[in-house]
Amino acid sequence: MAKLIILGSSNAVSSSDSENTHMILVGEERIVLVDCVNNPVHRLAQAGVDFMDVTDLILTHFHPDHVSGVPLLLMDMWLRGRKSLINIYGLHYTVDRMEQLMGMYSWENWPDFFPVAFHRLPAIEKSLLLDCEEFKIVSSPVRHLIPTIGLRFDFRMNNKALAYSCDTEPCVEVARLADGVNVLIHEASGAALGHSSAGQAGQIAAQAEAGKLLLIHYPTGEYTNGNLIAEARQNYQGEVSLATDFMTIDFS
């Protein structure tokens, strides 16, 4: 059993119905949180996941709409008496800053803090991030304002695969990462430096020959504009949907 739950689908300016983009992969052995915003405990509880059960945390890049919740997640885990290790993955740029941020909170003085293993990922395409019985995760550098990774999940049980672009301009690295996946989750913030429009997301989905395209990290609430699905369909023949908070993609 493995499923991916969208915990947030908004770009950086979130709204009451759409939290900043983050998601969780729930497997039998590993529960992998991808980015961590606000206080993630509540969104996780609404999705039926106890935050204490998270085994791994992937940080795609060091922007506040992707990592602002990490200090509070770690603090809440500590206050609830966590003893087991948590793995935190990211590029050197990201992990160095996260360690500095926790240093600003003087976490070395939090008594009996549980073990945290930081994993610094190389900025190379399809580098192995996590390999377990149920799935394998690899990361590739993408093109955003700061060093950022996209992710690919391959599920062993059924040979299905999913890729997530994270924040990026349209780039060949995402097309290669998402090659032949069943589902590509691609950002659609709009055509701007370091971001993509829905139409550009459609181009990448077509290049990757992805089975389905799910648009994420798009303007929500009062900033909603245009018909993103129609824009993506101009360049991609497959099924297109908007990711919404608590949408679940089942890979069992």
CB nearer to Zn ion: pick between 160 and 167: 167
Smallest distance from Zn ion to CB 193, Å: 11
| Identity of residue 247 | M
Q: Taking contact as CB under 5 A, which single stretch among the options 2-10, 122-130, 160-168, 208-216 is the one that binds Zn ion?
A: 160-168
CB of 143 within 8 A of CB of 149? no
Q: How far apart are CA 185 and CA 29, in angstroms?
A: 24
Smallest distance from Zn ion to CB 242, Å: 19
Cβ-Cβ contacts under 8 Å for 100 (sequence gap 6 or more): none
Read off the DSSP letter of residue 245: T
Read off the DSSP letter of residue 231: H
CB nearer to Zn ion: pick between 189 and 203: 189
CB of 46 within 8 A of CB of 74? no
Applying CB under 5 A, what is the total number of residues that bind Zn ion? Answer: 2
CB nearer to Zn ion: pick between 147 and 211: 147
CB nearer to Zn ion: pick between 167 and 173: 167
CB of 77 within 8 A of CB of 39? no
Cβ-Cβ contacts under 8 Å for 102 (sequence gap 6 or more): 70, 71, 74
Cα-based torsion angle of the residue sequence 165, 168, 172, 176 in order, rounded to the nearest 10 degrees: -20
- Site residues for Zn ion, window 54-93 (CB under 5 A)? 63
Q: Please provide residue 163's backbone torsions phi and psi, each rounded to the nearest 5 degrees.
A: -130, 150
DSSP code string of 110-122: STTPPPEEEEEEP
- Residue 167 as a binder of Zn ion (CB under 5 A): the answer is yes
Smallest distance from Zn ion to CB 1, Å: 31
Write each residue from 19 to 58 as x if it is in contact with Zn ion (CB under 5 A), else as -, in one continuous string.
----------------------------------------
Smallest distance from Zn ion to CB 217, Å: 8
Q: Taking contact as CB under 5 A, which single stretch among the options 83-91, 119-127, 161-169, 215-223 is the one that binds Zn ion?
A: 161-169
CB nearer to Zn ion: pick between 63 and 186: 63
Smallest distance from Zn ion to CB 61, Å: 6
Contact residues for Zn ion, defined by CB under 5 A:
63, 167
